[in-house]
Amino acid sequence: MKDINKDIGTKTLLVFNCHEPWVYQLGVLGYDLDIIVGLKGRHKPVWDEQMRPVPTNSRFVHLEDALSAKKPYYCIITHNISDLLDVKYRDEPRLLVIHSTMEGRLLEEGQQVEPEEMKSQLRQYLDLVGGHAVAVSSMKGNSWGFTEDIVPFGAESNDYYPYQGDKSCGLRICNFIESRRRILLWDFHEKAFGGLSVKLVGHNPGMAGVSASNNWEELKRMLQSHRFFIHTADPQLEDGYNMATVEAMSAGMPILGNNHPGSPIRHGISGFLSDDPAELRQYAELLLKDRDLAIQMGREARKTAGQELSLEKFKAGFLKSIETARFKSRMKKIL
């Protein structure tokens, strides 16, 4: 971790901490990172090392310290309109990262807002400050009306242990399920996998026997040992994969889920997909009995992750996003 007393470098990103696994990726960019912690609405006021270790070349700052920093940041990485408003008096380029569909966010937060009005206000504000938006998927970019820049998150296969699948048990990694039941098709999940040997991991207050891993190393051991990984999601509200799915694929796990146009899984090759919970349950039972099949399918999932969802692709794409934000900021000042 970077020395808290060290001066801000010539290329330092100011990053609002949204989700540790996503922010952790920024460590590959080659910039110093000032990560804002102590934000309202977070489940922890500090960096959650149960999810990820501290990124390289980073330090933690509080919002008030970041706002009063004398040296300029290379770019400010934000995740919502609140973040953008928090830095309204800073002069640096702003990059908004879109992590959710607008419909999913409104549903999860229980907001009664006209979607078109919300999209219009966000675009107007970005135009006003010369900001740029990048989405983590085409679906999420389309949802908000920002389709010019899409940079999916990625994973590095070499970060994970060789897959073994020796535990005849499925795995799902998911946080705050109760507020996201519809988004995650949780009723479907329960019908398909209820009563089977499936381990649920994540921050889920109120769900008995469910907890987050102690650290990333423990999580990687789970990915190495469990037989298959589960991801279900409403195709109208959420992508056909999330960061945990990409991790599981990179670790060599086969994936089970519902049919989804955005799923990176090829049915019968790198996993199984079905909209019939009874059929998906049969596939789960098959993999629980057949470790060799799980290894074979997981190998294909790992290959797909390396080709389509690599950390190198994320790095190249996000570096371009930062430069686009800087260009738009310069043009705004000229005009």
User: Taking all residues of the chain, what is their mean pLDDT, rounded to a whole number?
Assistant: 95
Burial class of residue 68 in the structure, from the number of CB atoms within 10 Å of its CB (0-12 exposed, 13-18 middle, 19+ buried): exposed
pLDDT at site 10: 66
**pTM (2 decimals)?**
0.94
Q: Quick one: what percent of the chain has pLDDT higher than 70?
A: 97
State how far the alpha carbon of 308 is from the alpha carbons of 3, 200, 328, in Å: 35, 26, 28
The full set of domains in the chain, from first to last, is: 12-154+312-334 (3.40.50), 157-309 (3.40.50.2000)
Residues 6+ apart with CB under 8 A from 58: 1, 2, 27, 32, 33, 34, 35
188 CB contacts (<8 Å, ≥6 apart)? Answer: 232, 258, 277
Q: In terms of Cα–Cα distance, which of 84, 31, 36 is closest to 318?
A: 31
219's tokens: 């999580």
CA distances from 117 to 60, 66, 124, 144 (A): 35, 31, 10, 11
CA gap 79, 105 in Å, rounded: 12
Rounded average pLDDT over 229-234: 99
Sign of the dihedral through C-alpha 308, 141, 93, 324? positive
At 155, list the tokens. Answer: 């994973």
Would you call 331 exposed, middle or buried from its count of C-beta atoms within 10 A (0-12, 13-18, 19+)? exposed
What is the rounded average pLDDT of the residues 177-200?
Answer: 98
> At residue 9, does pLDDT exceed 90?
no
For 136-154, the pLDDT digits (tens) are 999 999 999 999 999 999 9
What pLDDT does residue 109 have? 81
For 98-114, what is each residue's pLDDT tens digit? 999 999 988 888 777 88
Output the six-digit token pair for 220: 């990687």
